[in-house]
Amino acid sequence: MRLFADTGNLEQLRELKEMGVISGVTTNPTIASREGQSLSKTLSAICELFPDKPVFGQVVETEKDKIIAQALKIGDIGQNIVVKIPATEDGIKAIAALKAKNRRVCATTVLTSAQALMAALAGADYVAPYVDKWDVSGYNGFQALEEIIAMFHAANLSSEVLAASIHRAQDVVEVAKRGCDILTIDYSLILSILRIPRPLVDGYVDNFLEDWHRAGCSV
């Protein structure tokens, strides 16, 4: 499983790049709006920081023709751009049209397995189920994620499953256990994975250091 960072903040992304744990970057209109500049500037800066990794930017238009026009504009920002398009009726039509133009797209706001199937059949390179939001639709998020993964394999669909809307450290493990292709999580969750066990970790590290000095060891 590959890990993506769900943020548009360059300072956060520089730190995560130094950690060497992320394989891509996702944004959405809410995330991009926090950076106080145009979407094109935010995505351009991220593409410059990660020239060899996929960078996701999302449309805000809701009608097919306008979605396509905006998606083409976003896609022209960088060679590694993937355009996120909500999996609505107009969105699915736009995905099919954009794939005919050899554009890379991700179907987002996916809340049912059947919706995921429609997006994959339309040609989406990535399908992004909102795992923690499935309860709103009356489904168990992790069971539904398993269903999508199994369905794509059984139907020989090439779309990658990009799990989104995960907010707890242990849920990262649950997604990985199910064989998901990609998980995108925000900066704070990535750090919390290392910080939650930190008091115990620090205790072990302190003991190692104390024993080392007591024995008069050197490297």
Virtual torsion, Cα 139, 142, 146, 152, nearest 10 deg: 70
Contact 57, 83 (CB under 8 A): yes
Contact 26, 41 (CB under 8 A): no
Burial state string for 23-40 with b = 16 or more CB within 10 A and e = fewer than 16: ebbbbbeebbeebeeebe
- Angle, vertex CA 66, rays to CA 83 and CA 56, nearest 5: 10
Angle, helix 89-100 to helix 64-75, in steps of 10 degrees: 50
Taking each continuous run of H as one helix and of E as one strand, the counts in the chain are 10, 8
Does the annotation count 84 as an active-site position? yes
Tokens at 125, concatenated: 């390179």
Amino acid at 151: M
Residues 90 and 118: their CA atoms lie apart, in Å, by 12
Percent helix, percent strand, percent coil in the chain, to nearest 5: 55, 15, 30
Q: Which residue has the tokens 């590959």?
A: 2
Q: Which of 84, 93, 101, 177 is catalytic?
A: 84
SS3 100: helix
Active-site amino acid positions: 84
